[in-house]
Amino acid sequence: MTRPTVDLRPIQPPLPRPRPLAHFFTRPQVIALVAVLLVNWALFPGFFTITWQDGRFFGSLIDVLNRGAPVAILAIGMTMVIATKGVDLSVGAVMAISGATAATLVTNGIPAPVAVLAALGTGILCGFWNGILVTVLEIQPIIATLVLMVAGRGLAQLITEGYIVTFSDPLLIFIGTGSFLGLPMPVIIAVVLMIAATLIVRRTALGLLIEAVGVNRSAARFAGLKANALLLIVYTFAGFCAAISGLIVAGDIRGADANNAGLWLELDAILAVVIGGTSLMGGRFSIPMAVLGALIIQSMNTGILISGFSPEFNLVVKSAVIIVILVLQSPISARLFRRLPGAQK
């Protein structure tokens, strides 16, 4: 990212867009998810059991979806940012800010819908700030977003005045723990956001433009693209996604914890995006695959918990996953796999 290298390899032709369904099931991410789920099933035979109770579904699988939703939502925004060759480290802090805003407003007697809109607004504002740093001031994304990552939790504390603000507002709690059509609300929000974002980028030229900026920002600008406006939109969208996640996490625990809400989730989101096959070098991205990546991470978390290992193993397993992916994506393995059909890329 920070090292410019001269790449003289010929550009591979893009895959044809409408892929057959069979192709979907042979993608490494899908195979990985199925494998992790099967391991979980072997460890805990009731893993796939889903029961209907009190008007909603219950079961470990639903739990994986529910717990994975905040990271999945972050990953949707992060995918777009990474596709432009950037990264957003501030999403965890933005989650804390948005949760703190909503909780503080509600406890001060502001109607919940206004509080929710205000929280989303602060998220958008934070994303916009990142975008300004990246475009107008031309700061490297990793550093530009670091500013908010460092200061953001302090700002969240400023909003909550250092307390963990608890609330009992039905709307906020519904966002975190409610259910709609039998599915938990976070899952519904994540699915809707994923479909909307995918349609917007893939059914319009937006996705193509984002990829163009990610491949070569100056070339894209010379070709007449408003690269800066696109980057602003992308970072603002990432802030918006982070704000939604923050609302969910706050609603889930019925309180805003400025210190711990969304702590290290930016790293999980980046990992989900990388697992989803989006290149950190920009220019190639897939939102549904990033969401799948978030589900893989959550399935591993759940698997480690139900297998009785201590949660600390999570970190070791995650690092092992990153290492495997890095090796698979590296030029060395590309050389090795080049002759195999259906290899990476």
Question: Applying CB under 8 A, which residues contact another protein?
Answer: 1-6, 87, 133, 137-140, 142-144, 146-155, 157-158, 162, 258, 267, 270-271, 274, 280, 310, 312-320, 322-323, 326-327, 329-332
User: 153, 175, 146: which is closest to 94 by C-alpha?
Assistant: 153
Closest distance between another protein and the C-beta of residue 89, in Å? 9
Closest distance between another protein and the C-beta of residue 143, in Å? 5
Rounded to whole angstroms, the Cα distance separating 256 from 284 reads 36
Closest distance between another protein and the C-beta of residue 240, in Å? 21
Nearer to another protein, 5 or 26 (CB): 5
Nearer to another protein, 30 or 146 (CB): 146
Write out the H or E segment, with its range, that includes residue 80.
helix 60-83
Closest distance between another protein and the C-beta of residue 20, in Å? 31
Closest distance between another protein and the C-beta of residue 9, in Å? 12
- Cβ atoms of 235 and 248 closer than 8 Å: no
Nearer to another protein, 147 or 305 (CB): 147
Nearer to another protein, 119 or 271 (CB): 271
Nearer to another protein, 146 or 183 (CB): 146
Count H helices, E strands: the chain?
15, 6
Phi, psi of 50 (to 5 degrees): -125, 125
Rounded to whole angstroms, the Cα distance separating 94 from 169 reads 21
Rounded to whole angstroms, the Cα distance separating 103 from 224 reads 44
Rounded to whole angstroms, the Cα distance separating 54 from 307 reads 28
Nearer to another protein, 231 or 274 (CB): 274
Sorted by sequence, the CB contacts under 8 Å of residue 127 that are 6+ apart come out as 77, 88, 94, 235, 236, 237, 238, 239, 240, 242
Closest distance between another protein and the C-beta of residue 170, in Å? 30
